[in-house]
């Protein structure tokens, strides 16, 4: 009988974890058992935990009582199958649990992907229920498994924000301010904006003093501003703010500094989750949460199903190839080490130049 190992997180206090090990029973008819052999661990996963109840991320892989299982982007191999169309040995990439194994219920099966159609996931965003059958994909994508687990989900979000800004003509902004630009989603967005020669908006990255050199090396910003010096940003220009940090102080400071010239303010991540909180009434555009699946759904209607995801994947591959030399991959082995690195991630002790890949 296969042994399941996982790290569970307290839904009400995400610094508390529980290491779980239990046998997996027989796989039911129509289901498959996947051995998850690698997944990425980033500030994105912290955002999933912080917004787990409000957005619904805890619902993908329910746990017992007040515990939750943080979703991760990873790769795995089917080791047991009671689904005729998905054979043992099939290689998958998708939205897995922070665990060694997952039981999936394939439906809407195509040559290159299927959907997990288990009942409790049916009301959740479709993008998270899709699992790619990677051996049906181009060889260059198959060769980028680590980048796909670690960087693609973040850069795909970067692309969707980039597309959202273009789709709305930047709300009239002449500059884009990115909070926590040293985060992978942050510098992915900066790379896409700076790399588009058709755009005239300047890119301003906000980061800590310790991360300035890293951001400078990426060459993705027109201006780099250190926290607490937001007054250096030109307040005379219409500005779109993209918040990767979830830092309420920074949001309040920027809105008060820019006033009515804050024409768009959207929160994407929560890398500074400890500094989160209510911001109250602020001058300028009202802060709102950017939900990537919403932009995908809009583009699916306009461009056709799947086109936005293909464009996001292509853009992600391009940025990943550009920055891979700047990212030091560190492998995390076993659930105890995962618990330690989860705590370090929550405390912002993981360098932005480090990419954590996990094997349980």
Q: Which of 293, 318, 349 is the last residue of a domain?
A: 293
Q: Do residues 161 and 181 make contact, with C-beta atoms less than 8 angstroms apart?
A: no
Q: Is the pLDDT of residue 1 over 90?
A: no
Pair (178, 39) in one structural domain: no
The residue assigned the tokens 């839904």 is 11
- Average pLDDT over every residue of 130-153: 91
Pair (22, 131) in one structural domain: yes
Q: From residue 190, how far is each of 8, 62, 92, 114 by CA, in Å?
A: 33, 35, 30, 32
Closest CA to 175 of 53, 257, 66: 257
Q: What pLDDT, in 10s, does the model give residues 203-237?
A: 999 999 999 999 999 999 999 999 999 999 999 99
Pair (159, 258) in one structural domain: yes
Pair (102, 121) in one structural domain: yes
Q: What pLDDT, in 10s, does the model give residues 6-37?
A: 999 999 999 999 999 999 988 999 999 999 99
Specify the DSSP element, H or E, that contains 184: helix 184-194
Distance of alpha carbon 111 from its chain centroid, rounded?
26
- What is the rounded distance in angstroms from the CA atom of residue 74 to the CA atom of residue 38? 6
pLDDT band at 116 (very low <50, low <70, confident <90, very high): very high
- We report the CATH number of the domain holding residue 112 as 3.90.180.10
Pair (143, 159) in one structural domain: no
Rg (CA), the chain: 20
Pair (119, 228) in one structural domain: no
Q: What pLDDT, in 10s, does the model give residues 68-108?
A: 999 999 999 999 999 999 999 999 999 999 999 999 999 99
- Return the number of other C-beta atoms located less than 10 Å from residue 231's C-beta: 10
The residue assigned the tokens 């591959």 is 317
Q: What is the pTM of this model?
A: 0.86
Pair (278, 232) in one structural domain: yes
Pair (64, 134) in one structural domain: yes
pLDDT band at 279 (very low <50, low <70, confident <90, very high): low
SS3 67: strand
Residue 316 lies in a domain: no
Q: Which of 271, 293, 315 is the last residue of a domain?
A: 293
| Owning domain of residue 354 | 3-151+327-359
pLDDT band at 283 (very low <50, low <70, confident <90, very high): very high
- We report the CATH number of the domain holding residue 211 as 3.40.50.720
296-314 core/surface letters (b: 16 or more CB in 10 A; e: else): beebbeeeeeeebbebbbe
Residue 199 lies in a domain: yes
Residue 24 lies in a domain: yes
Q: Which of 293, 308, 339 is the last residue of a domain?
A: 293
Pair (248, 209) in one structural domain: yes
Specify the pLDDT at position 98: 97
DSSP 193-240: HHT-TT---EEEEEE-GGGHHHHHHHT--SEEEETT-GGGS-TTS-EE
Q: Do residues 241 and 266 make contact, with C-beta atoms less than 8 angstroms apart?
A: yes
Range from 138-142, 203-207, 241-245 that averages highest in pLDDT: 203-207
- Average pLDDT over every residue of 59-70: 95
Residue 139 lies in a domain: yes
Pair (34, 120) in one structural domain: yes
Residue 98 lies in a domain: yes
- What is the rounded distance in angstroms from the CA atom of residue 108 to the CA atom of residue 24? 25
Specify the pLDDT at position 332: 98
Specify the pLDDT at position 69: 97
Pair (241, 221) in one structural domain: yes
Pair (107, 186) in one structural domain: no
75-99 core/surface letters (b: 16 or more CB in 10 A; e: else): bbebebbebeebeeebbbbbbbbbb
Residue 55 lies in a domain: yes
Query: What is the domain count for the chain?
Result: 2
Q: From residue 8, how far is each of 5, 38, 54, 348 by CA, in Å?
A: 10, 17, 18, 20
Residue 304 lies in a domain: no
Q: For strand 175-179 and strand 239-243, is the pairing parallel, antiparallel, or unpaired?
A: parallel
Residue 313 lies in a domain: no
């Amino acid at each position: 009988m296969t042994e399941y190992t996982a790290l569970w997180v307290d839904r009400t206090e995400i610094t508390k974890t529980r290491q779980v090990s239990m046998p997996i029973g027989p796989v039911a008819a129509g289901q498959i058992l996947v051995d998850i052999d690698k997944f990425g661990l980033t500030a994105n996963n912290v955002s999933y935990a912080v917004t787990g109840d409000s957005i619904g991320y805890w619902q993908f892989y329910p746990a017992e009582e007040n515990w939750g299982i943080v979703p991760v982007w990873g790769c795995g191999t089917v080791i047991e199958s009671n689904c005729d169309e998905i054979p043992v040995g099939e290689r998958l990439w998708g939205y897995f649990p922070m665990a060694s194994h997952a039981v999936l219920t394939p439906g809407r099966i195509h040559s290159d992907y299927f959907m997990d159609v288990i009942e409790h996931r049916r009301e959740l965003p479709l993008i998270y229920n899709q699992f790619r059958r990677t051996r049906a994909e181009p060889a260059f994508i198959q060769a980028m498994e680590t980048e796909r687990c670690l960087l693609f989900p973040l850069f795909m979000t970067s692309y969707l924000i980039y597309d959202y800004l273009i789709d709305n003509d930047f709300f009239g902004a002449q500059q884009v301010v990115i909070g926590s630009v040293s985060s992978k989603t942050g510098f992915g967005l900066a790379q896409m904006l700076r790399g588009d020669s058709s755009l005239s908006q300047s890119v301003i990255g906000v980061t800590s003093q310790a991360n300035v050199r890293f951001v400078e090396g990426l060459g993705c910003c027109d201006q780099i501003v250190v926290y607490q010096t937001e007054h250096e940003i030109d307040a005379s220009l219409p500005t779109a703010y993209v918040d990767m940090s979830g830092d309420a102080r920074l949001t309040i400071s920027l809105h008060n500094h820019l006033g009515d010239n804050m024409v768009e303010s959207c929160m994407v991540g929560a890398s500074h989750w400890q500094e989160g909180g209510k911001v109250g009434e602020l001058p300028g555009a009202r802060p709102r949460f950017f939900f990537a699946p919403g932009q995908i759904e809009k583009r699916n209607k306009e461009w056709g199903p799947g086109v936005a995801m293909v464009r996001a994947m292509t853009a992600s591959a391009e940025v990943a190839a550009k920055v891979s030399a700047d990212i030091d991959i560190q492998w995390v082995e076993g659930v105890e080490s995962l618990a330690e690195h989860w705590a370090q991630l929550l405390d912002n002790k993981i360098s932005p130049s480090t990419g954590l890949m996990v094997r349980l």
